Amino acid sequence: MTGILILEQALNGLQFGLMLFLLASGLTLVFGIMDMINLAHGALYMVGAFFTAWLVQLTDSFWLGVLLAVLLTAVVGMLLEATLLRTLYARDHLSQVLATFALILIINESVRMIWGSDLPLSAPQVLAGPVELLPGLLYSSYRLVIIGVGLGIALLLFLLVTRTRMGAWVRAGASNREMAMAMGINIRALFTGVFGIGAALCAVAGAMLGPLLAVQVGMGENILILAFVVIVIGGIGSVWGAFVGAILVGFVDTLGRTLLPFLFREVFSPQFASAAGPAVASIAVYVLMAVVLFVRPQGLFSGRS
Amino acid sequence: MRLAFLKSLLTLSSVAALVAMPALAADKVKIGFVSTLSGPSAALGVDIRDAFMLAVKLNGGKLGGLPADVSISDDQFKPDVGKQLFERYVKRDKVDFLTGVVFSNIMLAGLPEAVDNKTIYLSPNAAPSPIAGAQCSPYFYAVSWPNDAYHEAAGQYATNLKVKSAYLLAPNYQAGKDSLAGFKRFYKGTVSGEVYTKLGQLDYAAELAEIRAAKPEVVYTFLPGGMGINFIKQFMAAGLNKDIRLIQPGFGADQDVIRAVGNDMLGVFDTAHWGLDLPNEANKKFVAEFEKEYKRLPTLYAAQGYDTALLIDAAVRASGGKMEDKDAMLKHLKTAKFNSVRGDFRFNTNNFPIQNYYLREVQKDAQGRLVNRIVGQPILANHGDAYVKDCPMK
């Protein structure tokens, strides 16, 4: 275990955590304010990635493609909210889960019909190589850009939520929906707006992770589970909680994959360690969630009163 | 003279007809082809199919002198679908040969259906160790290479280089563990890390950081399909290729991976039983015709599909078209003489090939395209597999 290894893993954890935050912040606001479980949130992440891959090809510019894809995905999200999801707010959670699960299947197959099961997307050529952060520590420049974008958006989101009128409405809605409505806040428009922002954040995550992972049908489902873990840990309805939860999950997942097999090798026999180490590392995140639920069932920073 | 000749011919043929009624020459060769033709891993099955059909086409639509009736189905990368297709071809269509499957888990699901009903299966890719050993069958032929062979060759190459430390990485499932075991069987240096990741993992940031800290001379990975493409891209983006040599099994650096990763593949070494530039006439013809027909360069999978069709052609020809006589057909398959695109090879007692394995390096060819070129002499010559001793067939 060297300092450089731990530093590099910390950067990896931060990068992963920030991308999780982009997904989880939208999810936690929708869940907290509208009391709506939206399983199709991951599908918007996939739609964002596909839009990006498609538009980067069309415009021949990575950043222009990302920008257009984010706007388009926000429009798709708002359309979904205005036409379909709005009718689900009054229903119970089970109906919402069933309806939005159906939406996942519909969106997956629609994307497959339009673009096929996957699209190629590469990072811009300038960012393909590594940069030397410290002597002996080369780090992927694209991952650094992801960290920068993630931090920038997180900052913008905090300013939006804590310093603007819309942010005050959002916090009021998350804290007590009925009272917020009674105070004359146009909940309908607010919900559509929040949904659009959530979709845009999904698209940013999809666009940034696309070149690193793969732009393919079904990419949203795996990461959605982690996004739910994040909001359960952070507390439903709290953007700050989503941030802390996402960074925690990012670090535990990344460091767990390094440290746990290492500890197992030190303590147990090699056969047992090589079998159990990776298995335990892959559930470390869920153990963290279970511990948080046990100690603070409402999450670390619940947005609800 | 002429009359007598005709008469004796008539007598002979009537006697032959009486004696050998069940072995009448068939009017066509029926082949069931099951492969993964949709989804993210479809490229491999498509290459096998395209090359197989190319061989049939170049033969004028015939195999062994008989019209080839090839029925193609997609297993959708699902073992249960593959098993159903095997059952349909064996029981309903009563095909003469089954072939096509890419992935071991799908082939193993369907294989009992074929061999228990005495239908011959010719594998154009999957050749798992149990079938080479205790569960070997006279109705199974591996036209490709035993699952461990590329990894053994890579281990031998690392030993030849006098590598002191190697870092190994594979997905946490049976084939992953088998492959690294194959590498270690022939690698004599120390293993500085042996890591098993989740099957289907796409982000390798944590593992790459560990590799940087472990400072191995060589990294060897078994990561088929999209996992390998992501790993190699991230390996290059993290700058690890500056100090560490990446070695891949042949399919980990083949044309499909090169297409996805691009220029960063230059200088990657891999091991395989075939290469685009193997200097034999059959291979030159295959590569040229494949490129002409499909406008892309063939992969290993294509070479294996092409050889499978050539094997059927040779065996059917040797049998004189008597498809019903299975026992004779099994012998004709074993001793079939054809010009394989890999050069000479023969079947071991377990029906797995004994052949050469080469080192290949990704280089630019005369037209500036990235291709695998064979480097030097075979790494392993006339190499079989470690499991043949457990196979009861002699």
Q: What is the DSSP string of A33-79?
A: HH----TTHHHHHHHHHHHHHHHHHHHS-HHHHHHHHHHHHHHHHHH
Per-residue pLDDT tens over the stretch B218-249: 999 999 877 888 899 899 888 898 889 999 99
Statement to judge: residues B301 and B187 lie in one domain: no
Q: Is the ipTM of this complex over 0.85?
A: no
* Cα of A294 to nearest chain B Cα, Å: 28
Statement to judge: residues B258 and B366 lie in one domain: yes
Flag whether residue B230 sits within 8 Å of chain A, measured between CB atoms.
yes
Overall number of domains in chain A: 1
Question: How many A-B residue pairs are in contact by the CB < 8 A criterion?
Answer: 83
For chain B, the maximum distance between any two Cα atoms, rounded to a whole number of angstroms, is 89
Q: How large is the average pLDDT for residues B133-158?
A: 94
Statement to judge: residues B55 and B140 lie in one domain: yes
Does A296 fall in a domain? no
Classify strands A215-216 and A137-140 as parallel, antiparallel or unpaired. unpaired
For chain A, the maximum distance between any two Cα atoms, rounded to a whole number of angstroms, is 65
Does B9 fall in a domain? no
From the list A5, A98, A109, A118, the residue with the least C-alpha distance to A54 is A118
Does B42 fall in a domain? yes
Overall number of domains in chain B: 2
Q: For the whole model, what pTM was predicted?
A: 0.79
Statement to judge: residues B192 and B254 lie in one domain: yes
Residues of chain B with C-beta less than 8 angstroms from the C-beta of A258: 206, 209-210
Residues of chain A with C-beta less than 8 angstroms from the C-beta of B210: 5, 258
Alpha helices in chain A (DSSP H): 3-34, 41-59, 62-83, 93-115, 141-163, 165-175, 177-182, 187-209, 219-234, 239-267, 270-295
Statement to judge: residues B326 and B346 lie in one domain: yes
Per-residue pLDDT tens over the stretch A175-224: 787 888 888 888 888 889 999 999 999 999 999 999 888 888 888 888 89
Per-residue pLDDT tens over the stretch A140-167: 999 999 999 999 999 999 899 889 998 8
Does A124 fall in a domain? yes
Q: Residue B19 has what pLDDT?
A: 46
CA distances from B38 to A289, B47, B75, B291 (A): 37, 12, 8, 22
Classify strands B120-123 and B97-99 as parallel, antiparallel or unpaired. parallel
Statement to judge: residues B174 and B290 lie in one domain: no
- Separation between Cα atoms, residue B35 and residue B125, nearest integer Å: 10
- Separation between Cα atoms, residue B270 and residue B82, nearest integer Å: 30
Best of A213, A217, A223, A252 to substitute, by most chain B Cβ atoms within 10 angstroms, is: A213
Best of A2, A7, A8 to substitute, by most chain B Cβ atoms within 10 angstroms, is: A8
Q: Residue B1 has what pLDDT?
A: 46
Q: Note down the domain range covering B162.
A: 149-272+357-383
Does A49 fall in a domain? yes
Does A254 fall in a domain? no
Q: Note down the domain range covering A170.
A: 3-220
Q: Residue B5 has what pLDDT?
A: 53
- A269: pLDDT strictly greater than 80: no
Residue type for position A266: E
From the list B113, B62, B61, B56, the residue with the least C-alpha distance to B86 is B113
CATH number, residue B267? 3.40.50.2300
Does A229 fall in a domain? no
Confidence of residue A123 (pLDDT cuts 50, 70, 90): confident
Burial class of residue A129 in the structure, from the number of CB atoms within 10 Å of its CB (0-12 exposed, 13-18 middle, 19+ buried): middle
